[in-house]
Amino acid sequence: MGVGSYETIHRAKGLAPSGITRFATNFITLQSMLCCKSALRHMIIGEEWFSSSYVGTPTEKDMVDCIFDERYFWVPCDEIVKFVKPSVVLFRVVVGEKPAMGYIYEGMDRAKEGIKSVYEGDESKYGPIWEIIDRRWHHQLYRTIHATTYYLNPTFHFIPSFKADVEVLNGLYSIMEKIAPAGTTQIELI
């Protein structure tokens, strides 16, 4: 194959095949495309490309337009990868081989802070993303056990930045009430 062929790009730059993980396929694809941006551009101006059956088709024109469109294609791709990456890191923890329960609550906070830092603290940009995350977190994902395992996880509990806010303490007390024998005080449980 020629210098700019798909196979060459795939081998040289590690263009990820789709389907590696169900939740991250689009992220991995965009991230791979960003890594291969110059190789993709080189591919479509190479001699081999011009002899392909795609040249002159409407699909080819659209693809070429995208590959050379910095403002409307590459900049949004880069932005998407930057704000999705913290969530992908959290998903890897959740679906990893190690038990994740004690890390989910902290991981969600870190993912949100990572998104905030991508937008340099501009709430008008990260706020709508946080609203989506919070809505999903509070209505579908969050359980009191997440806050409790965060509180009890020594990885976090004994560091200076540990915060046992109202949500964390309410989660802990709720679980304590469920597991405590009748008449047992919270002090006796701890």
pLDDT tens-place string over residues 154-166: 989 888 888 888 9
Q: Tell me how crowded residue 82 is: count the other CB atoms within 10 A of its CB.
A: 16
pTM of the model: 0.64
* Residue 104, pLDDT score: 85
d(CA 7, CA 31): 18
Name which of 72, 110, 76 is nearest 94 in CA terms. Answer: 110
Question: For residues 137 and 107, is the Cβ–Cβ distance under 8 A?
Answer: no
Helix, strand or coil for residue 149? Answer: helix
d(CA 67, CA 78): 13
Q: What is the mean pLDDT of residues 20-38?
A: 81
Question: For residues 28 and 20, is the Cβ–Cβ distance under 8 A?
Answer: yes
Q: What is the mean pLDDT of residues 67-83?
A: 90
**Lowest mean pLDDT: which of 24-28, 139-143, 179-183?**
179-183
Amino acid in position 5: S
d(CA 13, CA 6): 10
